[in-house]
Amino acid sequence: MKEQQEVRFFFLVDNSKTPWDLWICESQAVKQMQGNVIKPFLRNLFFRVNHLLQLGIGLVFVIDGCPPKMKRDTIRKRLNHAHRTNDNIGDWKKQPYRNRFNIFLRECCCLLESLGIPYIESCGEAEAYAAFLNAQGIVDACLTNDGDAFLYGAKKIYRNFTMDSKDPHVESYNIKDIENQIKLNRRHLVAFALLVGCDYLPKGVPKIGVETTLKLFKIFGEKDALSRFQEWRSMKFFEFLTPVEANVRNKALSLPEFPYEEIIKEFLVPKDKLPTKDLHWKQPNIKKFQEITAEKLEWTQEYALKKIIPLVTKWTMLEIIGVIPSRHHDEYIIPEKILKTRIKQGIPCFEVKWKPSDTTDESDENYISSEEQEIFRKCYPYIVEKFSQCEISKYQAENKESRKKNILVQKKSMQPIDNLLLDLEKLSLVPSKLNETKSCRMESFLLPLVNKHKI
């Protein structure tokens, strides 16, 4: 992850093979959640978005517009598959899948609005718009499981994203790597899709597979594959380069519409324009978030506040250091004090207590968050300085107390010696009569021994 100098945008697109849809559908399908969690797709969306935002990743969601007519058969098959595999088939039959999904989608958009996360609608396919913005350098990458994004012009794709605590991972694909290692550019990929299959032509050309297609491209060399396809109908047999090309050509031309100019145009000619809407992360709205989660997820206000405070503080600090463009906004909370230092996922952090900016009352435990020391120090140096002084004073006080304890321990250890000296002083130097008698006897006993020794 780069040092936070800019917001990095990733597109999560709405399509039946992409993360947003997967997040919704997989949440609905998890049997452990059914009956226990209200609207699991909405809950799932929040926690995943929250995780990505805390990592410093900027998010923009792209929503499908009107799907091309060519895709209707594909959509119909996917819906039929959804009907067959979903346990709650009765509900799906009462209302078409797409309409039901759109209801989910609207609820997701309301949640995103409360979090300040922008979303935009495409004229057609969502991945087409995301790829277009990626190609224009507006965004860094597209987060999608749909490989068609490369055909639409995407430069970088992230796939199979998971937040599994035991195995968190995401796969990264770059068009430059494909061009350098496999020698396939964007136009090659479109030609590849026409032969092998894509959303608009699911079966591709009969009996033409990946291996044959790659052989054909190798034969073409520097020739443009799409231009060659367009020449096939007017070419004579002796003009073919090899028998491989002749074989593929014969099978392809068995399809009356090949090379499907409409599909080529769909992939290569963008329908969308650069958005005029600001795509930066906006300030989260605490009240709106509490209202939505109370209505849709039945969260208490306290629980919702506890979940959104870290996002509010994150946004506030990014805005202060200039990562997010400064605009007029409401200052919901301000830092009250640093409670302690801690290490979170290997990163030095402060545990910070915040308070609402419109009150002088003490904040409760729901206004506590963990903030990275580096960014918090840049935003609130006076709070860090105050904490440092308190820590120094505390250390000095503890040191002083420790020295006092050491002195007391030393005094206690010397006390037996002092008592012994006192006891010796109490001893009488004048022997008693009993002692005199014993002493005389001892002397009379020792005297012969001494004299004998002298002899």
Domains of the chain: 8-181 (3.40.50.1010), 186-268 (no CATH), 299-379 (no CATH), 389-443 (no CATH)
User: Which of 272, 201, 258, 184 lies closest to 228, judged by CA?
Assistant: 258
pLDDT tens column, 206-218: 999 999 999 999 9
Structure confidence at residue 387 as a pLDDT band (50, 70, 90): very high
Radius of gyration of the CA atoms of the chain, in A: 39
User: Looking at residues 180-202, what average pLDDT do you find?
Assistant: 93
* Percentage of the chain lying above the pLDDT 90 cut: 45
Cα angle: 230, vertex 231, 234; to 5 degrees: 120
Q: Which of 168, 163, 185, 165 shows the shortest CA–CA distance to 176? A: 185
Q: Listing from the earlier edge strand, what are the strands of the sheet with 156-162?
A: 119-121, 57-63, 8-13, 141-143, 156-162, 169-174
Q: Is the dihedral of CA 318, 324, 326, 328 positive or negative?
A: negative
Q: Is the pLDDT of residue 149 over 80?
A: yes
From 31, 374, 22, select the one nearest 163 (Cα to Cα): 22
Q: pLDDT tens across 270-312, in order?
A: 988 989 888 899 999 999 999 999 999 999 999 999 999 999 9
**Is 8's pLDDT higher than 50?**
no
In sequence order, which residues have a C-beta less than 8 Å from that of residue 341 and are 6 or more positions away? Answer: 348, 349, 350, 351, 373
- pLDDT score of 68: 76
Helix axes of 97-115 and 19-29: crossing angle, nearest 10 degrees: 110
Kind of pairing, strands 57-63 and 141-143? unpaired
User: Most confidently modeled of 15-24, 102-111, 439-448?
Assistant: 102-111
What gap in Å lies between CA 88 and CA 28, rounded to an integer? 10
The H or E element spanning position 318 is helix 301-320
Phi-psi region of 260 (alpha: psi -120 to 50; beta: other; left: phi over 0): left
pLDDT in tens, 429-443: 555 554 555 455 545
Please provide the size of the chain in residues: 455
Instruction: Give the CA distances from residue 120 to residues 5, 50, 276, 412, in Å, rounded to whole numbers and listed in that order.
Output: 24, 19, 10, 76
CA distance readout (Å), 107 to 34, 142, 198, 283, 357: 18, 23, 30, 19, 30
Looking only at the bridges linking them, the beta strands covering 169-174 and 156-162 are antiparallel
Question: How confident is residue 375, by pLDDT bands cut at 50, 70 and 90?
Answer: very high
pLDDT at residue 449 above 60?
no
Q: Which of 44-53, 308-317, 425-434 has the lowest mean pLDDT?
A: 425-434
pLDDT for the residue numbered 89: 39
Q: Which of 20-29, 303-312, 366-375, 406-415 is least confident?
A: 20-29
How confident is the model at residue 67, as a pLDDT? 75
182-205 average pLDDT score: 93
Q: What is the model's pLDDT at position 416?
A: 61
Q: Give the pLDDT of residue 151.
A: 95
Task: Say if residue 152's pLDDT is above 60.
Answer: yes
Sort strands 8-13 and 57-63 into parallel, antiparallel or unpaired. parallel
How much of the chain, in percent, has pLDDT values that exceed 70? 70
Average pLDDT value for residue range 162-187? 89
Q: Is pLDDT at 30 greater than 90 in this prediction?
A: no
Higher pLDDT, 29 or 55: 55
pLDDT digits (tens, 9 = 90+) for 82-136: 555 554 434 434 445 567 777 888 999 999 999 999 999 988 888 899 999 999 9
Residue 226 has pLDDT above 70, yes or no: yes
DSSP, collapsed to helix, strand or coil, labels residue 60 as strand
Q: Residue 162's pLDDT is what?
A: 81
325 cis-preceded (ω within 30 degrees of 0)? no
Query: Residue 253 burial by CB count (10 A; 0-12/13-18/19+): exposed, middle or buried?
Result: middle
Give the pLDDT score at 27. 53
Q: How confident is the model at residue 23 (pLDDT cuts 50, 70, 90)?
A: low
Specify the pLDDT at position 455: 42
pTM for the model stands at: 0.75
Please give the backbone phi and psi of residue 341, each rounded to the nearest 5 degrees, phi first. -95, 155
Q: Which two tokens stand for residue 45?
A: 């969306």
> In the numeric block, which tokens belong to residue 52?
């990505």
pLDDT for 426: 55
pLDDT of residue 222: 87
Mean pLDDT of 146-175: 88
Assess whether pLDDT exceeds 70 at residue 372: yes
